[in-house]
Amino acid sequence: MYDFNFQSASSIDDAAAKLSAASDGTVMAGGQTLIPVLKQRLANPSDVISLAGAGLSGITNNGDSVTIGATTTHAEVAGSSDVPAALRAVAEGIGDAQVRNRGTIGGSMANNDPAADYPAAALGLGATITTNQRDIAADDFFTGLFDTALNDGEIIKSVTFPNATKAAYAKFPSPASRFALVGVFVAQAADGVRVAVTGATDCAHRGPMLESALSANWSADALDGITIPTDHINADIHGSAEYRAHLVIVMAKRAVAAAG
């Protein structure tokens, strides 16, 4: 790891100020992605600005939606009775207990790993990402491999998930990394059926074919006979594109069955 200047931010505005004062700074939340990246010398920031003391943790449920502060850990989400069960299950399925004790929702959203779990939940529930500058719909947030709609210097404050009538997430974890080989989140949301897929392509995305089949008939059987084209599907030592495309349907069926 190259050395850097470590700073602690006392608020989101303080973090933004420290970030703009730094020659090439980056914020850090739980560090469960950033520290491994720094160790591999894939990044060489001048300053690492910790958000841990910026007061961005906490969960509030107003009856219609739940708002989760950016630095709320996966363990806190998994253990909160204010969080709907489908979302708690997403958090409980991330990594291992020690990663869940440090990793945060804001870090996961900002990082947009192609196999991350929270992006699928955010797309599947039609979440809104609130930053120090604006509100961004999840549908507009995940723009590509490790890429998001966040501008330079833009910091996530919280993520708001509206309630859904029914929702569930089904994940096929890589036995080695625990990341999703494929994960599918399904929901009967206020604006209709939403299906979000992670692990299969360069980043989490909605599945329009699955959404129209499930809008017509909310049952696992409705997905029989759908074939996912393999052109943009990831292929690596863990699974071919055909295997992952098949898993999308299998996980979608499991999620619908779990949602009831």
Partner 1 sequence: MATVSMTVNGQAVSGEVEGRTLLVQFLRENLNMTGTHVGCDTSQCGACVVHINGDSMKSCTMLALEAEGAQVTTIEGLAQGGEMHPMQQAFQDNHGLQCGFCTPGMVMSAIDLVAKNPNPDETTIREQLEGNICRCTGYHNIVKAVQQAAKTMGG
Helix (H, G, I), strand (E, B) or coil at 250: helix
91 contributes a contact to ligand FAD by CB under 6 A? no
Q: How far is the CB of 31 from ligand FAD (least distance, A)?
A: 5
Q: Which does 179 bind (CB under 5 to 8 A by kind): ligand FAD, partner 1, none?
A: ligand FAD
Which of 22, 43, 52, 258 forms a contact with partner 1 (CB under 8 A)?
52
Which of 55, 58, 84, 95 forms a contact with partner 1 (CB under 8 A)?
95
43 contributes a contact to partner 1 by CB under 8 A? no
2 contributes a contact to partner 1 by CB under 8 A? yes
10 contributes a contact to partner 1 by CB under 8 A? no
Q: Which residues pair with 160 in a beta bridge?
A: 67, 128
Q: Are strands 142-144 and 147-148 parallel, antiparallel or unpaired?
A: antiparallel
DSSP class of 150: P
Stretch of 46-54, 111-119, 152-160, 193-201 contacting partner 1, by CB under 8 A: 46-54
Q: What x-and-dash track marks residues 171-200 binding partner 1 by CB under 8 A?
A: ------xx----------------------
User: Using CA of residue 170, residue 172, residue 174, residue 180, what is the dihedral sign?
Assistant: negative
Q: Which does 101 bind (CB under 5 to 8 A by kind): ligand FAD, partner 1, none?
A: partner 1
25 contributes a contact to ligand FAD by CB under 6 A? no
Do 207 and 196 touch, CB atoms closer than 8 A? Answer: yes
- Go through 8-34 and write b for each residue having 16 or more CB atoms within 10 A of its CB, e for each that does not: ebeebebbbebbeebeebbbbbbbbbb
Which of 29, 75, 123, 164 forms a contact with ligand FAD (CB under 6 A)?
29
The residues, ordered by sequence, that sit 6+ positions from 62 with a Cβ below 8 Å of its Cβ are: none
48 contributes a contact to partner 1 by CB under 8 A? yes
Q: Is 31 left (phi over 0), alpha (psi -120 to 50) or beta?
A: left
